[in-house]
Amino acid sequence: MTEQSSALDNLLTESRTFPPSEEFAAKANAGAELYSEADADRETFWAKQAERLHWDTKWTQVLDWSNAPFAKWFVSGKLNVAYNCVDRHVESGHGDQVAIHWVGEPGDTRDITYAELKREVSKAANALLSLGVGAHDRVAIQLQMVPEAIVAMLACARIGALHSVVFGGFSPTALRSRVDDAQAKVVITSDGQYRRGKAAPMKANVDQALDGAESVEKVIVVRRTGDDVPWTEGRDLWWHELVDGQSEDHKPEAFDSEHPLYILYTSGTTGKPKGILHTSGGYLTQAAYTHHYVFDHKPGEDVYWCTADIGWVTGHSYIVYGPLANRVTQVVYEGTPNTPHEGRHWEIVQKYKVSIYYTAPTLIRTFMKWGKDIPAKYDLSSLRVLGSVGEPINPEAWVWYRENVGANATPVVDTWWQTETGAIMISPLPGVTEAKPGSAQRPLPGISAKVVDDKADEVGKGGGGYLVLDKPWPSMLRGIWGDDERYRETYWSRFADKGFYFAGDGAKYDNDGDIWLLGRVDDVMNVSGHRISTTEVESALVSHPTVAEAAVVGASDPTTGQGIVAFVILRGDAVDGGEEAVQELRNHVAKEIGPIAKPRQIMVVPELPKTRSGKIMRRLLRDVAENREVGDVTTLADSSVMDLISSGLQSGK
Ligand code: WTA
């Protein structure tokens, strides 16, 4: 952890603090007593939070942890997740409230009220039922940010089917492995998507992915760009032809609190993505609870915008489930932040009077690069809470965000969580916490986290180590799809004696006991807030015929947090390691995984640094990638390797 410690020493020289204004604190949803209330009795506290939802049958027990690490929350309770996110708001007289202000990249817009959302979700639920999709079936969704994406997710939830949303930027190979792993019966996609002003095909990629996929019976295609698409008679159906004519009546069935809600694949330390499984009652409780308090959301008053894509967990918990359960009015934007110009987000904030804005550090740093003149051109006075998620936020970016987007006045909440945790775990509360730029600070009320050393002992103030979650929480993952053993092994084996969940992140306490997150301690990279495993990129590289061996590291990058740097040894007969060969390899990775996994840099080297047991020493490669002096090489099997690598690079080979 030496590199991380030095990064942290820099961070800890940061001593600015930003308390909430008295005015904000006076009206805030959360006061300081929320912590003491939760500490007094955690289960009673969570039971109270679960009352935010409508339960058809009340639970008999808050938590059953007897079969740890497989939790059951709100045991024997029954509810319908989609009813909670949609119907009940219509029934309580808010049918005319806008749920979604949708903004298409080319500039087309659509406002969808809760009444309309209810009709659309009901029709889509009936459509899925008409295709024979039922409770426990899996539906894969690869869609860009169009309203149908949200409607499709809620329609699955409504009938008890599991969705598995696959990010639109993933390659056909990546989609296929997810469809196969979940044995999806139906795939929902679109003809194409607008990206940076151009229409790019989606359906054609999906067809490529599904060639020979035996589980898939139907493919539903949303029409967006209007471009021609390849068509498989008998399998493919247009969304508008299938859904529009369905009945608007659908009675939501109440499912068990532990009924599976969705699978979302995320990168682990091996090449094979993990299907993270989330269930219903506990997940929705914590998603709604955190959205209410962390963003200080006030239904009917606030306009909320989370800029994530539904392909990631942030889109699941903070566009779909948490916000809609809380009767949000939210912006959903289809496109990229600089199309057609770099002020696009601020133009949207101004137009819809967005009051809560939640984004990722990588985008904040991009905004910084574009310059403060751009947000300054717009009226951003509606904003009152800003949020950040996905990677550690550096204090400069935090302060820039507050000054230039938040008028030097709004609270900024740095929220730490993971696909696995399902909802926010560590974060300031905007009306309570004296914020420190760069620190996520404290576990939320009801949540328990610790920083521990190798032996699972908690470190003291000023100490660093591993972040663990030492008590179960309602929205925790319930396992890895089809692989209970991998679930135990990945998260629960490291600190098995104490029964701690190992998050995979390094962290440190400052002298006040606040938590600072330091990034991953495993072989997972974080590029623009996206998790990509080094092994996944390595296997993509070695699947190319010219590559003999590959090692991949995440090197720090001023904009994307980390950038992917690959070291490859070419096969003996593939002598040409020139620019063209390197470009070809970058494209190969994009084809195998997706453009997000394209290495920033590929270095052709004669050897890789390995220990005597054959383990690649990524630490040394990271030194090279970050232009640092190479660290301790004494554990290398052959200590001259690093000289060979450095001299090869200097001579430009
Ligand atoms: C990182 C995204 C520091 C962390 C919700 C975690 C963060 C991984 C923060 C999960 C933050 C997320 N500060 N690091 N506020 N938020 N991370 O599953 O390394 O895509 O383990 O979930 O992102 O990424 P995931």
pLDDT digits (tens, 9 = 90+) for 197-218: 899 999 999 999 999 999 999 9
Q: Which atom of ligand 1 is closest in space to residue 420's alpha carbon? A: 18
**CB-neighbour burial class of residue 629 (10 A; exposed 0-12, middle 13-18, buried 19+):** exposed
Cis check for the bond before 443: say yes or no (omega within 30 of 0).
no
Nearest-CA residue for ligand 1 atom 22 is 418
Greater pLDDT, 82 or 536: 82
Give the tens place of pLDDT for each residue, 482-516: 999 999 999 999 999 999 999 999 999 999 999 99
pLDDT tens, position by position, 38-53: 999 999 999 999 999 9
Give span(s): CATH 3.40.50.12780, the chain.
33-61+69-447+454-481+488-505
Q: Which amino acid is at 55?
A: W
Is the pLDDT at 651 greater than 50? The verdict is no
Rounded to an integer, what distance in angstroms lies between the CA atom of residue 33 and that of residue 445? 9
Phi and psi at 411, nearest 5°, equal: -65, 145
528 is in an annotated binding site: yes
Q: Please check the confidence at residue 104 and state whether its pLDDT lies above 80.
A: yes
416 in contact with ligand 1, CB cutoff 6 A: yes
Q: What are phi and psi of 622, to 5 degrees?
A: -65, -35
Q: Looking at residues 307-326, what average pLDDT do you find?
A: 97
| Mutational pocket test of ligand 1: of 264, 477, 526, the residue with most ligand atoms within 8 Å of the beta carbon | 526
The pLDDT confidence band at residue 14, using thresholds 50, 70 and 90, is confident
Ligand 1 touching residue 391 (CB < 6 A): yes
Nearest atom in ligand 1 to the alpha carbon of residue 531 is: 20
Which protein residue's CA is at the shortest distance from atom 12 of ligand 1? 390
> Is residue 222 marked as binding?
no
Cα torsion angle, 371, 391, 473, 85, sign: positive
Q: Whose CA is closest to atom 3 on ligand 1? A: 392
DSSP labels, 332-387: EE-S-TTSS-TTHHHHHHHHHT--EEEE-HHHHHHHHHH-THHHHTS--TT--EEE
Give CATH for domain 33-61+69-447+454-481+488-505.
3.40.50.12780
CB of 439 sitting under 6 A from ligand 1: no
Query: Under a CB-based contact definition with an 8 Å cutoff, are residues 335 and 107 in contact?
Result: no
Could you tell me if the CB of 561 is within 6 A of ligand 1? no
pLDDT at 2: 43
Cβ proximity of 414 and 399 under 8 Å: no
What are the start and end residues of each CATH 3.30.300.30 domain in the chain?
Answer: 528-652
What is the average per-residue pLDDT within 431-447? 97
Assigned fold of 528-652: GMP Synthetase; Chain A, domain 3 (3.30.300)
Closest residue by Cα to atom 24, ligand 1, is: 418
Q: What is the DSSP string of 52-118?
A: TS--SB--SEEEE-TTTTS-EEEET-EE-HHIIIIIHHIIIIITTSEEEEEE-TTS-EEEEEHHHHH
Strand partners, 218: 186
Task: Pick the residue whose CA is nearest to atom 15 on ligand 1.
Answer: 416
- Summarised one tens digit per residue, pLDDT across range 62-76 is 999 999 999 999 999
pLDDT tier for residue 455 given thresholds of 50, 70 and 90: very high
d(CA 183, CA 642): 45
320 labeled binding residue: no
Q: How confident is the model at residue 579 (pLDDT cuts 50, 70, 90)?
A: confident
Spatial separation of the C-alpha atoms in residues 501 and 484, rounded to whole Å: 15
**Does the beta carbon of 520 lie inside 6 Å of ligand 1?**
yes
Per DSSP, 229 falls in state: -
End-to-end Cα distance, the chain: 32
State pLDDT tens for residues 338-386.
999 999 999 999 999 999 999 999 999 999 999 999 999 999 999 999 9
Mean pLDDT across 95-114 = 98
Res 4 pLDDT > 60 = no
Reply yes or no on whether the pLDDT at 535 is more than 90: no
Predicted local confidence at residue 519, as pLDDT? 86
The ligand 1 atom at the shortest distance from the C-alpha of residue 416 is 15
For residue range 604-643, what is the model confidence (pLDDT) as tens digits?
A: 988 888 877 677 888 889 988 988 888 777 777 777 888 8
Atom of ligand 1 nearest to the CA of 426: 15
